[in-house]
Every structure is written in structure tokens, then in C-alpha cells.
A and B are shown apart, each in its own frame.
Chain A
Amino acid sequence: MEFLEIFLSANFWAASLRIATPLIFGTLGALICERAGVLNLGIEGIFTAGAMSGWLAVWLGAGLIGGLLVAMVVGALIGLIHGILTVPLGLSQHVSGIGVTLLATSVAYFTYRTTLPDVTSPPRIEPFRPLDIPILSDLPFIGPALFQQTFMTYLAIALVFIVGWVLARTPLGLAIRAVGDNPASVDSQGMSVYGLRIGAVMVGSSIMALGGAFLTMAAFDAFFFGMVNGRGWICIALTVFASWRPRKALLGALLFGAFEAYQVRLQTEVGSFVPGEVFLMAPYVLSIIALIVAARSADYPRALLVPWFKGQR
């Protein structure tokens, strides 16, 4: 059976991990924002801005790590806009998020075009290359499947555990979770609800921006308008699938990556009698099914989408 043989190929697992990487960043970022009670639909725009700014910074000579930092700062600044609109001003998080996506996408494109007004194809940078880890990369099967990824994939996985540890085990994590569940209790402890929420949105947004930067600095080596192609929205769904838990977010992203890697391989197997669109649709359909199963028992942050104003009951 060719259908099952696909799973025996190390390249399939490597592809799943590659495809999952931007989703891991995006879902982690969305999860941090939502844990603090703020839905961040600016994600698609933040992805685009991160993809553009990181790549542009590298092209201008900032170096790869410099590019990542620039992307993170840009993400945090966009997060600040969303934070101010939704936290102290208490505006609709949905509307503000969509607005931020539109703004960030447009500004990213505007910056791109004003910097490079007359190009026939965008300039290429030297992107992150797959790392060769001694011993691990040379293991049979496991090596090519898991240990020949770029630095950013390992960064994404490390962040899963760091974010998980901070949220679950530190006073800061407790405060973030509390502000998303019961902001009044945080306020009564003398902590700033606004500060915590805006801070969480900024940090979450900077991690989202890394997801975008992965596309232009590791998965590919140039920025194309529209290349984010809905990846941000998938992260919003994955966050619910993960019930706001970082390790489940990693699992969800990997599952989606595997669906996607599987469908491109399956398409050439049975493409002659099943229309290609069925396969392109499959990861999304499977995600929706997974979401239905997972979201029934979802434990929402109780104050998600609920603005809080000091002194108001």
C-alpha cells in the first residue's frame, strides 16, 4: 500500500515538522494573548509584517538573528496597538483584530514597495539552513526525520516548553492566567490588569511575528505578498484545539503539518481519479473535525473577550 508507505519515509516526517514550525509559533503567540483574555485576530497581519520585516532587515545587513529581533520588535509594536485598542479602550477584540490585520498587511506591503520600488523579483537572502547536529543528525531514520531542521524549528519547540513552564510554574504565569480568568482578583492583588494584558499581547504578537519570519528566513528566502496565505487563521483554530495548552498546541501544529505533508504526497498517488482540490481541502476539513472533538470539552479562559475597567463591577 503506497498510502501507508508514505509514513515510513523520513522525508515525510521532516516535511511535517517544517510545515508545522510557523504554526507552532503562531499558536503559541495566540495562546499567550488569549490566556490573558485577549483574542488577537491581528495574527494574519502580524505574520505578514514579521515575514516582511525580518527578511528586509536581513537584506539590509542585520544578519539572521538581527532579522529575528527586528521581526519580534515589529510584532510587539503591532501587538501594542491591538492591546491599547482592546484593553484600556475596551473595543471589540474581533473588530480591532481584523483592523490590525488589515493595517499590518498594508503597512508591510507599503514598506516593501517603497523600499524596493522597481524590482522584477524580490531580492533573496541567505536563509537559515538545516543544522547538522553531531550524532543525532546521522541516526538512521530519526536523523533525517527530526534532526535536520533549521534553527527556527528547534527554537519553536524550545519555546513550547519555555512558555509552558512560565505559564504553569511561575508567579508571572499565574498572574497571566488569572488576568484571563478573573481580572478583578488580579486588580485586588494590586497588580496592573492593563499592564499584564497589554504585555501578554505584545509578547504573544512578537512570537507570532517569528512564525511569519520563518516563512521568509527559513522555509524560503524572499518575501512575496500574500505568501502567509491564511496560516495565521489556522493558528487561531489550533489554539482552541489545544485548549490553550502549549504542549497540545505543539501536537496540534504537528498534526496539521502531517496532514499537509501527507496530502501533497497523496495527491500524486491518486490524483488521476480524485480531484486535487479534495486534497487541498483535506487538512482544513480534518482540522475542523479535530476542533469539533476537542472544543466540546474546551476550557475557555473565563474572561476571554471580556474587557475590564477599573472600578467597574
Chain B
Amino acid sequence: MNETNKKEETTTHKIGIYLWIWGLLFVLSFFSYMVDWYQFQGLLRWSLILIFMFLKAGLIMAFFMHLFWERYALVNVLLWPMTAIACFIFLMVAEFKYTLFTRLLYFFVGG
């Protein structure tokens, strides 16, 4: 692509939106720290950790990395490969359960 005949018109966003997202990220980080501070356990702990994590990740990607304003072609190129990671997680969960099962079987019950 020829760099010289390109006329870029870029628009910037109001400072308020960045400050809002920044503040929200602080609040969400504080909340996720509180999960550990109050020593929530079990399903409550895991779901809270995941909720705060995905909210933070979403805010960073959407507004700090401008994905919210980006063209759909780029957004789709970036987000669809994540399904491969989800599949990999799914496979490895099955795998660690099997490994743990065989270890317990051979260590404690015997082969």
C-alpha cells in the first residue's frame, strides 16, 4: 500500500470515557481483591473471580484497545480464534481429571 496517498482522518473520543473506564477498572480490581480478603470459598469464590476477570478484560479490550469502535472484520478476526482456546481448556479439563483419577488409583489402590 502506498503510504503517501493515504489521508487519515482520525477521531478521538472524549476524555470522560477513558476516566470512567479507568475508575471502573480500579473498582473491579478492588472487588476481586476483596474476594481474597474475605476468604470466600467454593463456587462463590470461583464465579466472583471469573465475573470480575471477564468484566475487566472486556473493558480493557473494548475501550482502552478501541475494539468497541473498530471495524467488525478486525473484531471477528480477533475474537473467533478464542473459541479454539475454549476447546483446548475443555479438552485439558477432561485430561487432568483422568490423570488425577489414574494417579489416585495407582498410588492408593494399587495397579
Q: Do A and B bind each other?
A: no
